[in-house]
Homo-oligomer: A and B are copies of this chain.
């Protein structure tokens, strides 16, 4: 069964920490939980944006949403603070073996990350090639460089190898993406 972008998460059991082969979102939720627990960074995933049409309102605790629709997100899924810096990113999986289709990310999400960068924040995307079992971090400035200098509708994996950073998988944290930020030597 397929769900619209970002809805699968609601069904993920966050307690299955030892479960290998989880999806990217579960891995990031686990990672962010670890970062928060260890007081390394405060990063949360935003709730799925919806428009609510009908609420069955019995009491404050028992309200049930009876009709709602998924909205196009106006920002990215994750943001927070690390070493005093604002960080903001979007995470996507692809089954492709060769490239990441750009239509996986909304234009206004790219624009949002660009604004974050211009305001002094750290913006990036995390892309997992599920069939290759490789997860990359690509900073927004490198994503923008690709978009501005290419007519292609997808980013070849060679560009991730050249400009992106591999995020290694581990136990705790599952996906230590902050290590990439440290490595890049962003002035923090």
- Give the chain B neighbours of A49 by CB distance below 8 A: 47
A117–B48 Cα distance when bound, in Å, is 26
Q: Which of B2, B60, B81, B116 contacts A4 (CB 8 A)?
A: B60
Contact between B63 and A64, CB atoms less than 8 A apart: no
Pair B63/A70 contact, Cβ less than 8 Å: yes
Stretch at the interface among A50-58, A90-98, A147-155, A167-175: A50-58
Q: Which A residues between 52 and 88 are near B, CB-CB below 8 angstroms?
A: 52, 55, 57, 60, 63-71, 74-75, 79-86, 88
- With both beta carbons as reference points, the residue of chain B lying nearest to A82 in the complex is identified as B119
Of the stretches A20-28, A38-46, A130-138, A158-166, the one at the interface is: A38-46
Q: Which residues of B sit under 8 angstroms from A41, Cβ to Cβ?
A: 119
Report the interface size for chain A: residues with CB under 8 A from the other chain.
49
* Residues of B with C-beta under 8 A to A4: 60, 63
Residues of B within 8 A of A10 (CB): 50-52
Q: Which residue of B lies closest to A87 (CB)?
A: B86
Bound-state CA distance A116–B43 (Å) is 10
Known: A64-B68, A64-B69. 19 other contacts (CB 8 A): A1-B57, A3-B55, A7-B52, A10-B52, A39-B115, A39-B118, A42-B112, A42-B115, A42-B119, A42-B121, A44-B74, A65-B69, A66-B66, A66-B67, A68-B68, A79-B79, A84-B120, A85-B86, A86-B121
